[in-house]
Structure 1
Amino acid sequence: MHPNSSLRLFDLAKRQLEIYPDLPMFVSKTNGEWQGITTKVFLDHVNEISKGLIACGVKAGDKVALISENRVEWNMIDFAVQQIGGVMVAIYPNISDNDYQYIFNDASIKLCFVSNIDLYTRLDALRDKLPTLEYLFSINKYDNVQNWQILIDRGQSISQTKIDECSAKVTNEDLAMLIYTSGTTGNPKGVMLTHKNVISDVVACEYSTPLEPYHRALTFLPACHAYERTLQYLYIYMGLSIYFAESTDKIGENLKEIKPHIMTAVPRVIEKVYEKIMEKGSHLSGFKNKLFHWAVRIGEQYDLDENKLSFIYKLKLAVARKLILQRWYEGLGGELIAIVTGSAGIQEKIVRTFLAAEIPIYEGYGLTEASPVVAVNCFKRGKKIGTVGPPLNGVEVKLADDGEILVHGDIVMKGYYNNPEATAEVLKNGWLYTGDIGEWIDGKYLKIIDRKKEMFKTSGGKYVVPQQIENKMMESPFISQFIVVGEGEKFPGAFVVPNYQNLLKWSKDNNKGIDGLSFEEFQKNNLVKEKIEDEINRININFGHWEQIKKIAIIPTELSIESGELTPTLKYKRKVILEKYKKQYQEIYG
């Protein structure tokens, strides 16, 4: 066992104070200035909150909820709850009232922190349905709202000795957190992760993270998601400064100001960065436009294996980088050593082009039930485009006879809270049955094929794997979202959300005479549908005839979390989508 695997999560901040005492631990923008907080000041606040929690009657094993965007107070509360033996239940701010009610009652939440008045009002209105909730505090100050300063004031009568006594009783086998996964079906399930689970993942990830102490990390994905949360613990373990992006709209600005060395992103964020770059390039005129698109085509042919790149290609790549591609890297701050992406598949074309532009993308794979990182591409253990890399050190991965990915090691969860049936379904003889289908490439790199439950058979008995078709189709600049349907039908069809901006430009450039139409009329226009069908036919040749998309239905508005069609980690809720677009489904299959 690694010497650091006996640590508890809240020890990470104390360890950081010992090794990197002068490090700006967290950095936020206040009044237009980036301002850091040292580990010592951070820990003083953590202790104040712990005292307040004890004064409010929170004991070892009690569940405390936190609903907030990323901010330094989030991390303070996280450590404050854990160091007195409490169990942290961090929840997404954008879920339904039904889900809040289910989670609060399932976990018997005793005390809850929220960040703002909107969340406070929502939770307060639900209080009659949340019998275990004794306290609700807002982090931001408002009139007539219970502010968390009340909790801190109440804790002044508690001694530091009391905190130390509580901390001494916490072992790394104890439950540290419940993370409720926003499943694509049914009620959320509470994943039980111990200190040891998450610390083991942090220690395993460190080997694959090519960074040095005092480097800068940018965070903008929700910290209540296991992926971003474990990465933040990793940054603390490695002695990095964590910078909070002001908002998703300001990431571009913040990248230039902070010049981060690492950031995490989901594929949709990276795709939007790529789309923005492509849109800017398409507005160039004449020779500049031709040069831009030539450089992109060179980038799309990039391979990590130097032996596969001819002398002529390398010459062209050097020119493409010098004239076009290096500006992409500079646009992201110019100092990135790693962008880690996970939670869904990313288009291979984008990975190749970004790597050609020397933007270091590391695609990885994991799931909340595995704390969450299982495998990641890295230059130490190997990297292969189109895969999620080799498994982490100390993590065993094998494939079942049907290709299901099975995971074994200290990172595997204790089980689902209050749900022995669901636990028994996925934990067998110490192995976690992930529900994902994979294959080995070159004997060592894991490639994700699809979710086991999302694969389906046509009426002809042929298997269709939606995810790989969807990822390939979304490489078209004219397709924003693509959802494969057709279980039990004669052929696969799809719901398509068009890329309105790119189609508008295409119609103007080609004098189609439809760019004056309203948004609704434009999306429904036959020329638009024909253009999308041409794109699908062009891409269909990559698939067997039984997998090829035969008919589509256009969905004019982008699927979103708010409208209930995506999970908070941007996965399709296929049952919800099928239910909502029944009429369009009938159009496809009559």
Structure 2
Amino acid sequence: MTPEEKYEKVKGLQPLELLYQREAQQADTVFLRQMQQRQWRDYTWGEVMDRARRIAGYLRAQYEPGDRIAIHGKNCADWIIVDVGIMLAGMVSVPLYPGQSVSSMTYVLQHSESKLLFCGATDNNAALQEVADMLPSVAIQRCEIRCDQDLETLIKESERFEEKPTFDLDDIFTIMYTSGTTGNPKGVMHSWSSVVFVSPNMIRGYGMDENDRVLSYLPLAHAAERILVEFHCLYSGTPIHFPESLDTFLEDLKRTRPTMFFSVPRLWTKFKEGIDEKIPPSLQEVLLRIPGINTWLRKKVRNGLGLDDAEILVSGASPISIELLRWYHRMGMKVADGYGMTENFIYGCFAPPGEDPVPGTVGKPYHGCEVKISEEGEILFKSGSLMKGYYLEPEKTTEVIRDGYYHTGDSGFIDKDGLVHITGRISETFKTSKGKFIQPSRLEGFFGNETMLAQLCVLGHGMDQPVMLVTISESAEKLPREEVNEHLQKLLTSVNDKLPQHERIKTIFITKEEWTPLNEFLTPTLKIKRKVLEAHYQPLFKQHVDTKGIVWEPRTAVSEGSKEASLEPVN
């Protein structure tokens, strides 16, 4: 069956309509596979619907259609099943990120007026316990906090909801909160029409079916994972696999051998770091030039990552380095950079089927998605996937949706081949004390392929020159500090030689801690909070206002001055 034929088969159907079909016709076919104690625990379509119907029965007995029901936890089969139960009950799901702070989760629960919280695994049990105590709670798979009841008991004791409802396409079925890069999260309201538009068109683009495999591990609270995995697999019939834990992730990835793999730049970078530790980059370059050996190397790398069957490789959620993409392409893995946002349910741009992705671009608009560039250089979207608006914030809605177009806040252009290029966030451009405007993402791109660097962020509002904050990779942490300094200084000099005077990086500051959602330097979707970083490290900047080169943030209270290195000035 061709992708177009698969599209025609599901076009116009609501998710619940498809679920009713699969319940009746494919009850014994496996849909969800959860790794538990190193074995797959399979859930058929029939079991998924039985559990979801009992959850819906419980919800309808306790709450009213339209009530908001929150879900928090790492990806697991129960997450999907609970979400289906909420849909069946006619209620509105409110997903929370596993890495959200207490203040952020509290804001979302209160702002959405959520009535119940389903709790799963998290990296911060104390934070989840604090918010779970605010309202009724139910524990799902791998939950380690105290809840009012557990899901298995709820399912065992609840009556099945036997109805087969469908809903008006304009009805809201979920409120997905943005990651809150610059303030409180905003509640993005999506109606059933968004899914009915997006999911069939995704099948038209990707052509997936029940013979494919997907591993779900990025937060299901993120619109990309929700639409690319949950709803896309629901429409295509593709089985979803869930890893057991972070410790077993790579093994579970290899056991799944997904045919479609979606990840974020940070993981693509870590994959490369792991390869570089085993096969140094200089040796890779030699091997890639030898016929036959290059084929062996590419196969070895793909097999080692568990991606030997992956035909669709996607990076998203934040910008990825052009050089990193080129490395994957040289290794025979055509990773494509996708572009979308919660507000358009991630239905934006991607490499067209049959065409190789072009590093430095995010491909072309999906079917039925219109993209144009405003006179100010801002990227605008228009499609059937646009949100209904921000929950309880009509003023903010009218700020971003004007004349039917969503104003992304990203600057960019469309080239002669129709490929979309993103040049940065309009709001992130800053001015130095010399009156020169700096676009940080452009400068960060020059460092994206450096294996010693794990995270980086260019800052410098009001300074005489830009500076860069970085964390170093695990491999660099094992090296003598002098070796790291020498290497990064050479890199800095090399990059600065390519830049006009006003863009040259004055200082690289190496921070002592990784930036994560838990310390609130990153959003739950792993986007950098530039303003938070800039405010936190202002004392360090002021202390080294005249320093050029490499500066290490003190890592202990003992005589860090002797370890801290400031190298020769950069001309």
State the TM-score, normalizing by the size of structure 1.
0.85
Partner deviation per Cα, 1:536-558 (whole Å, 9 max, x = no partner): 11123343332221223221222
Q: Secondary structure at the match of 2:375?
A: coil
State the partner residue of 2:17: 11
Preserved contact between residue 212 and residue 238 of structure 1 (Cα < 8 Å): yes
2:176 is aligned with 1:179: yes
Runs of 5+ unmatched residues, structure 1? 283-288, 299-315, 506-514, 516-521
**Which amino acid in the other structure matches residue 26 of structure 1?**
L
2:336 is aligned with 1:330: no
2:368 is aligned with 1:367: no
Distance 2:461 2:192 in 1: 41
Q: Secondary structure at the match of 1:353?
A: helix
**Which amino acid in the other structure matches residue 227 of structure 1?**
A
**Which amino acid in the other structure matches residue 30 of structure 1?**
Q
Quote the sequence identity (%): 29
State the superposition RMSD in angstroms: 2.6
**Which amino acid in the other structure matches residue 138 of structure 1?**
A
2:547 is aligned with 1:573: no
Preserved contact between residue 37 and residue 244 of structure 2 (Cα < 8 Å): no
Aligned partner (choices 263, 266, 269) of residue 267 of structure 2: 269
Alignment of 1:155-194 (within 5 A): 155-156=158-159, 160=162, 163-164=163-164, 167-168=165-166, 170-194=167-191
Aligned partner (choices 373, 391, 408) of residue 434 of structure 1: 408
State the partner residue of 1:294: 286
Alignment of 1:440-589 (within 5 A): 440-499=414-473, 501-502=475-476, 504-505=478-479, 515=480, 522=481, 528-589=484-545
Residue 464 of structure 1 deviates from its aligned partner by 1.4
Distance 2:121 2:337 in 1: 34
Q: CA separation of 1:401/1:190 partners in 2, compared to 1, >3 Å: closer, same or farther?
A: same
Which stretch shifts more, 5-14 or 243-252? 5-14
State the partner residue of 1:510: none
Alignment of 1:403-418 (within 5 A): 403-418=377-392
Distance 1:238 1:356 in 2: 31
**Which amino acid in the other structure matches residue 151 of structure 2?**
W
Q: Secondary structure at the match of 1:406?
A: strand
Partner deviation per Cα, 1:389-439 (whole Å, 9 max, x = no partner): 000000011011121110011111011001112111111111100111111
Aligned partner (choices 18, 26, 36) of residue 30 of structure 1: 36
Distance 1:462 1:579 in 2: 21
Runs of 5+ unmatched residues, structure 2? 1-6, 547-571
Aligned partner (choices 243, 246, 269) of residue 241 of structure 2: 243
Aligned length: 536
State the partner residue of 1:313: none
State the partner residue of 1:146: 149
State the partner residue of 1:195: 192
2:401 is aligned with 1:398: no
Residue 9 of structure 1 deviates from its aligned partner by 3.0
Aligned partner (choices 374, 389, 400) of residue 363 of structure 2: 389
**Which amino acid in the other structure matches residue 419 of structure 2?**
Y
State the partner residue of 2:108: 103
Distance 1:33 1:257 in 2: 10
Residue 173 of structure 1 deviates from its aligned partner by 1.5
State the partner residue of 2:69: 64
Distance 2:147 2:67 in 1: 27
Distance 1:571 1:468 in 2: 16
Distance 1:360 1:382 in 2: 7
Residue 94 of structure 1 deviates from its aligned partner by 1.9
State the partner residue of 1:343: 317
State the partner residue of 2:278: 280
State the partner residue of 1:509: none
Distance 1:100 1:449 in 2: 32
Q: Secondary structure at the match of 2:249?
A: helix
Residue 489 of structure 1 deviates from its aligned partner by 2.6
State the partner residue of 1:136: 137
Distance 2:25 2:380 in 1: 37
Distance 2:397 2:406 in 1: 10
Which stretch shifts more, 491-500 or 573-582? 491-500
Q: CA separation of 1:588/1:399 partners in 2, compared to 1, >3 Å: closer, same or farther?
A: farther
Preserved contact between residue 210 and residue 237 of structure 2 (Cα < 8 Å): yes
Residue 234 of structure 1 deviates from its aligned partner by 0.6
Residue 126 of structure 1 deviates from its aligned partner by 4.5
Distance 1:499 1:122 in 2: 28
Q: CA separation of 1:322/1:383 partners in 2, compared to 1, >3 Å: closer, same or farther?
A: closer
Give the number of the structure whose residues are more often helix, by fraction. Answer: 1
Residue 15 of structure 1 deviates from its aligned partner by 4.0
Preserved contact between residue 26 and residue 46 of structure 2 (Cα < 8 Å): no
Distance 1:70 1:447 in 2: 32
**Which amino acid in the other structure matches residue 338 of structure 1?**
I
Q: CA separation of 1:568/1:124 partners in 2, compared to 1, >3 Å: closer, same or farther?
A: closer
Partner deviation per Cα, 1:526-582 (whole Å, 9 max, x = no partner): x64343222111123343332221223221222111111011111111111112111
State the partner residue of 1:218: 215
**Which amino acid in the other structure matches residue 512 of structure 2?**
P
Distance 1:49 1:190 in 2: 24
Distance 2:129 2:511 in 1: 36
Preserved contact between residue 196 and residue 410 of structure 1 (Cα < 8 Å): yes
Distance 1:144 1:433 in 2: 41
State the TM-score, normalizing by the size of structure 2.
0.87
Aligned partner (choices 316, 319, 322) of residue 292 of structure 2: 319
Aligned partner (choices 40, 55, 63) of residue 61 of structure 2: 55
Q: CA separation of 1:386/1:19 partners in 2, compared to 1, >3 Å: closer, same or farther?
A: farther
Residue 291 of structure 1 deviates from its aligned partner by 4.1
Partner deviation per Cα, 1:450-495 (whole Å, 9 max, x = no partner): 1111112223333211112213213122222221111233221111
**Which amino acid in the other structure matches residue 139 of structure 1?**
I
Preserved contact between residue 578 and residue 585 of structure 1 (Cα < 8 Å): no
**Which amino acid in the other structure matches residue 461 of structure 2?**
E
Q: Secondary structure at the match of 1:425?
A: helix
Which stretch shifts more, 319-328 or 252-261? 319-328
Q: CA separation of 1:558/1:474 partners in 2, compared to 1, >3 Å: closer, same or farther?
A: farther
Preserved contact between residue 317 and residue 356 of structure 1 (Cα < 8 Å): no
